[in-house]
A = this chain, B = another copy of it.
Amino acid sequence: MPNLRLAFLGFGNVGQALLTLLLEKTEELRARHSIEWSLVGVAGRRLGSAIDPRGIDPLGALELAKARRPLAPLSAMPLEGDGVAFVGRCGADVLFENTPVSYEDGEPAVSHLRTALECGMHAITANKGPVVHAYRSLTALAAERGRRFMFESTVMDGAPVFSLWRECLPTARLQRFRGILNSTTNLILTLMEQGKTFEESVAHAQQIGIAESDPSGDILGWDAAVKVAALVTVLMDYPLTPQAVDRKGIDGIGEGEVLKAQRDGLRWKLVCRAERINGGVVAAVEPELLGPDDELYGVMGTSSAVTLESDVLGPLTIIEANPGPRTTAYGLLGDLVSAVRTAVV
């Protein structure tokens, strides 16, 4: 049974949740998937980094990270340089990339992932940027090296949407999809239905760590548009930028609109959609009024959902409730199992 050497670039909530989950699932990975693993590199923005080809104690790394103390004491070698340098030196078989990313160009995540693939690693990320900006080039590079570029956790947290499409819907052609893909706005709309003001709802979303300190990326529909672009790019094999998504946020939906909808038995939702039309794909993000017979009507709080319409099945909906860092971490673990199972050795 081969031992997989793992490296973590980015070791915040998601990275730590992933390492915890790997520890918890060590026995299942061995017994059901013939995967043994060891940790050979960890790097975090405020933690510095550690590399040790003989293995780093995962519990030690978690302890230091939780205490916000430098990882250097765990390292077998002195380390300088940026994320790319870390990837080049870590000697791993699999890189988990979860660093802060620019949505403008997907950097530095794209460079991290490219370096990993060039070094012969599987490259797994929860960052949407690389999918939107470099899906085709990273996928081609991975194929060339007999490795995988994977990103299940970029849309709907760790709920399996990419792997469902890839593994469970062979030969299907996606005609259109529709869903709720941004947790923050869905939570805000839910809280407003419960009587909170827009500002109170945003503040609450920030408090529980769902919304950024500047929540405009969510509220104006940018995060949803990036996810739509990622789904279109991968599931429809049609490269689409977030800018090409017809986008309208929830900033026009006040308490009055929410309460009026409620009186009519309806709900405002920030609905994402994309459809193949005339050889192209038309995509949009905008608030819609939904009635109780809509599959998306019951999707409340931070839950998300997507309905896939293909040429082989009737509309197929997936709904994910109660996501969190562990959910995102699980998507990364799923990617690990898939990558190892399908790699060309």
Contacts and interface: CB of A to CB of B under 8 A. Distances in A.
Number of identical protomers: 2
A38 interface: no
A135 B301 CA distance: 39
Nearest to A318: B318
Contacts of A327: 312-314
Contacts of A159: 313, 316
A105 interface: no
Interface string A169-199: 1110000000000000000000000000000
Nearest to A163: B168
A36 to B, nearest CB: 14
Contacts of A317: 317-321
Nearest to A324: B314
Contacts of A264: none
Interface stretch (A211-219, A227-235, A291-299): A291-299
Interface in A36-81: none
Contacts of A164: 160, 164, 168
B313 A170 contact: no
Closest 6 CB pairs of A and B: A314-B322, A160-B168, A167-B167, A317-B319, A28-B171, A170-B337
A316 B304 CA distance: 10
B326 A315 contact: no
Contacts of A21: 312
B313 A25 contact: no
Contacts of A330: 312-313
A342 B316 CA distance: 25
A84 B180 CA distance: 50
A91 interface: no
B333 A322 contact: no
A316 B306 CA distance: 12
B168 A168 contact: yes
A321 B310 CA distance: 12
A171 B337 contact: yes
Contacts of A318: 316-318
A32 interface: yes
Given A21-B312, A317-B317, A330-B312, A32 B322 contact: no
Given A293-B298, A313-B158, A163 B167 contact: yes
Contacts of A326: 312
Nearest to A33: B170
Interface centre among A292, A295, A307, A317 (most CB of B within 10 A): A317
A134 interface: no
Interface centre among A294, A312, A321, A337 (most CB of B within 10 A): A312
A101 interface: no
Contact of A314 (B163, B167, B315, B321): B321
A300 interface: yes
